[in-house]
Amino acid sequence: MGDVVSFFLLCTVHQIVSLTGINFSTRSIIGFVELTILPQKDNIRHVRLNAKQCRIYKVSLNASLEAPFQYFDPTLEVSQGATKNQYDLETFSECHLSGCNLVDPDLNGGELNIKIPSEAYALDYIGINKPLKIQVEFSLVEPQGGIHFVIPENPLQNCEVSGEGAASAAGGSASATPSPASTVSLAERGAHMYTCGHENSSRLWFPCIDTLSELCTWKLEFTVDESMTAVSCGDLVETVYTHDMKRKTFHYVVDTPTAAPNIALVVGPFEIYVDPNMHEVTHFCLPHLLPVLKATVRWVHETFEFMETVLNSRFPYTNYKQVFVDEAYTDHTCFSSLSILSTTLLHSSAVVDQVYETRKIGAHALACQYYGCFITTEKWSDLWLRKGISRYLAGLFVKKFFGNNEYRQMIHQQMEQVIKYEEKYGGIILDSSVPPKSTVPAGARGEAHREVQIQENPFAFPPSNVNTCSPEYLEIMALKSHLSIRMLENRIGAQQLLQVLNKQLSLATTASQTKNNPAAWDNMVLNTSTFSKSIFMVTGKDMNVFFDQWIRSGGHARFHMEFVFNMKRNTVEMQINQDAASQGMRGIRKYVGPLTVAVQELDGWFSYTFPIENIHSKHDITCHSKSRRNKKKKIPLCNNEEVDMDLSAMDDSPVLWIRIDPDMQLVRSLDIQQPDFQWQYQLRHERDVTAQSEAARALERFPSLASRKALIDMIEDEKCFYRVRGLATHCLAKVANSMASNSDGPPPLLMIFKKMFGSFAASHIIKQNDFSNLQSYFLQKELPVAMAKLRNVQGICPPEVLKFLLDLFKYNDNSKSNFSDNYYRAALVDALGETVTPVVSMVQNELGSSITADSLSPDTKAILEEVTRYLNLEKLLPSYKYTVTLSCLKTLRKLQKQGHLPSSPILFKDYGKYGQFIDVRLSALECFVDHVRMEGNFKDISHLLNLVETDPDPYVRHKICRFMIENPPFDRARHHRNDKPELVERLWNFMNSGFWYDSRLRCDIVDLYFELYGRKMPVCIPLPELAALQPKKVDKPKGSANREKKSSFIIPKAEKRKMEEIIRPDAIPAEFAHALPPVNREMVAADIPDYFSMDDPEPGPSHHVGQPAKKSHLEVENAAVELAAGSAELSLETKEKHHKHRREKKSKKEKKKHKKEKKSKSKEHKKKHKKEKKHTSEDQMHSSSVMGSSGAHSKMMPGGMTDGGQALSSDSSTPSTGNSPIHSTM
- Binding to another protein, residues 245-304 (CB under 8 A): 245-246, 248, 251, 253, 255, 269-272, 274, 276-280, 282, 286-292, 294-295, 298
Q: Which residue type does 515 have?
A: K
**How many Cβ atoms from other residues are within 10 Å of residue 1052's Cβ?**
23
Binding segment toward another protein, per CB under 8 A, in 39-47, 231-239, 401-409, 604-612:
231-239
**How many Cβ atoms from other residues are within 10 Å of residue 584's Cβ?**
9
Beta-bridged to residue 605, according to DSSP, are 600
Least Å distance, CB 32 to another protein, is 16
Residues between 1105 and 1164 with contacts to another protein, criterion CB under 8 A:
none
Binding segment toward another protein, per CB under 8 A, in 596-604, 753-761, 993-1001, 1013-1021:
753-761
Tell me the C-alpha to C-alpha distance, in Å, between residue 1182 and each of 48, 1088, 1094, 1207: 19, 17, 17, 16
Residues between 793 and 832 with contacts to another protein, criterion CB under 8 A:
810-814, 818, 820-822
Q: Which of 902, 1101, 1126, 1221 binds another protein (CB under 8 A)?
A: 902
Q: Which of 404, 495, 868, 1131 binds another protein (CB under 8 A)?
A: 868
Closest CA to 752 of 772, 797, 782, 774: 782
Residues between 347 and 386 with contacts to another protein, criterion CB under 8 A:
347-350
Tell me the C-alpha to C-alpha distance, in Å, between residue 542 and each of 67, 488, 539: 50, 11, 9
Residues between 169 and 198 with contacts to another protein, criterion CB under 8 A:
184-185, 187-190
894 or 1173: CB nearest another protein: 894
Least Å distance, CB 18 to another protein, is 13
Does residue number 16 form part of the binding site for another protein (CB under 8 A)?
no
251 or 412: CB nearest another protein: 251
Does residue number 235 form part of the binding site for another protein (CB under 8 A)?
yes
Least Å distance, CB 944 to another protein, is 18
Q: Which of 774, 873, 973, 1073 binds another protein (CB under 8 A)?
A: 873
Least Å distance, CB 826 to another protein, is 12
Binding segment toward another protein, per CB under 8 A, in 39-47, 430-438, 844-852, 1173-1181:
844-852
Q: Which of 917, 1032, 1046, 1162 binds another protein (CB under 8 A)?
A: 917
219 or 491: CB nearest another protein: 219
Q: Which of 631, 632, 816, 875 binds another protein (CB under 8 A)?
A: 875
513 or 1107: CB nearest another protein: 513
Does residue number 854 form part of the binding site for another protein (CB under 8 A)?
yes
Q: Which of 104, 111, 326, 694 binds another protein (CB under 8 A)?
A: 326
> What letter would DSSP give residue 505?
H
Least Å distance, CB 267 to another protein, is 13
- List helix spans (H) across 577-620: 579-582
Does residue number 515 form part of the binding site for another protein (CB under 8 A)?
no
Dmax over CA atoms of the chain, in Å, equals: 102
Residues between 135 and 164 with contacts to another protein, criterion CB under 8 A:
152-153, 155, 158-159, 162
Residues between 943 and 972 with contacts to another protein, criterion CB under 8 A:
none
Alpha-carbon span 758 to 443, nearest angstrom: 64
Q: Which residue type does 1184 have?
A: S
158 or 330: CB nearest another protein: 158
Alpha-carbon span 1090 to 1079, nearest angstrom: 17
**Do 1184 and 1212 touch, CB atoms closer than 8 A?**
yes
Least Å distance, CB 309 to another protein, is 14
Q: Are strands 571-577 and 616-622 parallel, antiparallel or unpaired?
A: antiparallel
Does residue number 919 form part of the binding site for another protein (CB under 8 A)?
yes
Show the CA angle centred on residue 216, arms to residues 211 and 218, nearest 5°.
110
Does residue number 879 form part of the binding site for another protein (CB under 8 A)?
yes
Q: Which residue type does 757 have?
A: F
Q: Are strands 10-19 and 215-225 parallel, antiparallel or unpaired?
A: parallel
Dihedral angle at the C-alpha atoms of 499, 501, 504, 508, nearest 10 degrees? Answer: -120
Q: Is 320 helix (H, G, I), strand (E, B) or coil?
A: strand
Least Å distance, CB 329 to another protein, is 15
Enumerate helices (H) and strands (E) in the chain, giving the number of each: 41, 31
By rule CB under 8 A, what count of residues binds another protein? Answer: 113
Percent helix, strand and coil across the chain, each to the nearest 5:
45, 15, 40
Residues between 199 and 228 with contacts to another protein, criterion CB under 8 A:
219, 226-227
Least Å distance, CB 714 to another protein, is 30
Q: Could you tell me which residues come within 8 angstroms of residue 163 by beta carbon, excluding any fewer than 6 positions away?
A: none
Closest CA to 1187 of 1141, 1150, 1156, 1125: 1141
Beta-bridged to residue 202, according to DSSP, are none
Q: Which of 759, 937, 1093, 1112 binds another protein (CB under 8 A)?
A: 759
Q: Which of 140, 346, 497, 740 binds another protein (CB under 8 A)?
A: 346
Closest CA to 104 of 1223, 1184, 1225, 923: 1184
Does residue number 913 form part of the binding site for another protein (CB under 8 A)?
yes
Q: Which of 176, 906, 1026, 1132 binds another protein (CB under 8 A)?
A: 906
Long-range contacts of residues 357-363, Cβ cutoff 8 Å, at least 24 apart = 358/296, 359/299, 359/303, 359/401, 360/394, 360/397, 360/398, 361/331, 361/332, 362/297, 362/299, 362/300, 362/303, 362/322, 362/332, 363/303, 363/306, 363/307, 363/393, 363/394, 363/397, 363/398, 363/401
Alpha-carbon span 250 to 239, nearest angstrom: 5
**Letter string b/e over residues 803-828, b meaning 16 or more CB atoms within 10 A of that residue's CB:** ebbbebbeeeebeebebbbbbbbbbb
Binding segment toward another protein, per CB under 8 A, in 405-413, 456-464, 626-634, 851-859:
851-859
Binding segment toward another protein, per CB under 8 A, in 495-503, 909-917, 1047-1055, 1160-1168:
909-917
458 or 758: CB nearest another protein: 758
Residues between 69 and 88 with contacts to another protein, criterion CB under 8 A:
none
Least Å distance, CB 154 to another protein, is 8
Which positions from 1046 to 1075 touch another protein by CB under 8 A, shown as an x/- string?
------------------------------
308 or 651: CB nearest another protein: 308
Alpha-carbon span 1118 to 1139, nearest angstrom: 8
864 or 1130: CB nearest another protein: 864
Least Å distance, CB 722 to another protein, is 23
324 or 559: CB nearest another protein: 324
Residues between 626 and 645 with contacts to another protein, criterion CB under 8 A:
none
Q: Could you tell me which residues come within 8 angstroms of residue 735 by beta carbon, excluding any fewer than 6 positions away?
A: 699, 700, 702, 703, 707, 708, 711
Supply the angle between the helices 1038-1046 and 1176-1191 in degrees, to the nearest 10.
140
Q: Are strands 281-285 and 320-325 parallel, antiparallel or unpaired?
A: parallel
